[in-house]
C-alpha cells in the first residue's frame, strides 16, 4: 500500500551521498529525480525520496516521525546501522532484539530524520 516516503534535507548533496551509501546496503539505488528530489528503490518495496522542501523553507524533522527500512537478516540490520554511523548518522539505538519477532536499530541522518532498519520474524 505504501508508495514512497519523502525526507527533507537542508544539504542536498550531503544527503544524497549519505543515502547512496546507506541504501546500497539494502539493494537500493537511485531511480528518477529532478533538480530538487531524488527517488531511491529496489524494485520490490516502497521508494524513499530525498528532497529540498517545495516551499523553499528549511527542512525540519518531525517529532515522532520515523522511516523504517526492512532488511533481509539481522546481520544486514547490523551492517546497515554500522554503515549509517560511518556515514555520519547519530545512533538512536544499537541493533538488538526489541520484541520476540522484531530485531531493529535506530539512527538519525544529518538533517535529524529518524530511521530504523529492522528484520521481522
C-alpha separations of 93 from 7, 9, 27, 97 in Å: 20, 22, 23, 11
Whichever domain contains 115, its CATH number is: 3.10.180.10
pLDDT of residue 31: 97
* Average pLDDT value over all residues in the chain: 96
pLDDT of residue 22: 98
- Exposed/middle/buried for residue 28 (C-beta within 10 Å: 0-12, 13-18, 19+): buried
pLDDT of residue 45: 86
How do beta strands 102-108 and 90-99 pair? antiparallel
Range of the domain at 87: 4-120
Domains held by the chain: number: 1
Contacts 24+ apart (CB under 8 A), 73-76: 73/119, 74/103, 74/119, 76/25, 76/26, 76/117, 76/119
The residues, ordered by sequence, that sit 6+ positions from 62 with a Cβ below 8 Å of its Cβ are none
pLDDT digits (tens, 9 = 90+) for 24-71: 999 999 999 999 999 999 998 899 999 999 999 999 988 889 999 999
pLDDT of residue 6: 96
Residue 2 has pLDDT above 90, yes or no: no
pLDDT digits (tens, 9 = 90+) for 65-89: 999 999 999 999 999 999 999 999 9
Amino acid at each position: 500500500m505504501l508508495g514512497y516516503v519523502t525526507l527533507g534535507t537542508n544539504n542536498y548533496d550531503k544527503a544524497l551521498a549519505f543515502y547512496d551509501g546507506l541504501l546500497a546496503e539494502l539493494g537500493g539505488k537511485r531511480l528518477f529525480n529532478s533538480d530538487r528530489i531524488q527517488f531511491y528503490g529496489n524494485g520490490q518495496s516502497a521508494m524513499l525520496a530525498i528532497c529540498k522542501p517545495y516551499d523553499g523553507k528549511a527542512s525540519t524533522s518531525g517529532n515522532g516521525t520515523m522511516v523504517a527500512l526492512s532488511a533481509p537478516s539481522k546481520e544486514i540490520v547490523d551492517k546497515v546501522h554500522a554503515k549509517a554511523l560511518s556515514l555520519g548518522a547519530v545512533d538512536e539505538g544499537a541493533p538488538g532484539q526489541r520484541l520476540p519477532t522484531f530485531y531493529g536499530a535506530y539512527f538519525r541522518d544529518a538533517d535529524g530524520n529518524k530511521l530504523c532498519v529492522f528484520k521481522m520474524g
